[in-house]
Amino acid sequence: MRFLVLIALIVLNAMSAHAHEPKVVAPGSVEEIPFPGHTVHVLSGPGETPSTTAVLELEVPPRTFGAPPHIHSLEDEHFYVLEGEVDFLSGDEVERASSGSTVVLPRGHIHGFWNDTDRPARLLLVVSPGEFAGFFDDVVARIRAENAGDPATVGRLITEAAAERGCEIRMDKVPESAAHLLPRP
């Protein structure tokens, strides 16, 4: 019997050692998620490494919100601005981050971001733990299922999906300087 247990442990160990294989993600090889306000590409999902970190690329068009003010209770986020400029809300402060900037947003802190320029912006987002990466696909699926096109319904679906993941949307914290970027009903 001990021999069988030993064999089972060796097999399980070998399986877990190969459960997360290295890989190269080539440009254009991942699906585009047409999230409201910006496009998302999941470059590495939470199931691809033991740490469950997710890595995403976001494309934020000119004069659009990337994310309204919100508070994560479960995740930490790190943004790296690849191209363009993006305004980040952290608490009550707004700071513009340009290409080459890193923005660190630990859980429990209110934050949001938007592109208030005439040029598109691209961001690399690292989320840890990365289970929140499924939020983007989930919201798009809900929008399609309800055939939602009006901003109020889309906002409700985003708020519901966020709440299910321990994330609170705080529209009351949109700075006056960014209010003009919000969709109008």
Domains of the chain: 28-174 (2.60.120.10)
Phi-psi region of 148 (alpha: psi -120 to 50; beta: other; left: phi over 0): beta
HSE, side-chain direction, 13 A CA sphere, residue 15? 6
d(CA 121, CA 125): 13
Give the model's pLDDT for residue 137: 86
d(CA 73, CA 75): 6
Give the model's pLDDT for residue 132: 87
Give the model's pLDDT for residue 63: 96
Residues 137 and 36: beta-carbon distance below 8 Å: no
pTM of the predicted protein model: 0.84
Block means of pLDDT (10 residues each) for the chain, 185 residues, are 44 53 87 87 90 94 94 96 98 96 97 97 95 87 86 89 94 93 79
d(CA 140, CA 154): 9
How far apart, in Å, are the Cα atoms of 127 and each of 37, 52, 77? 19, 9, 5
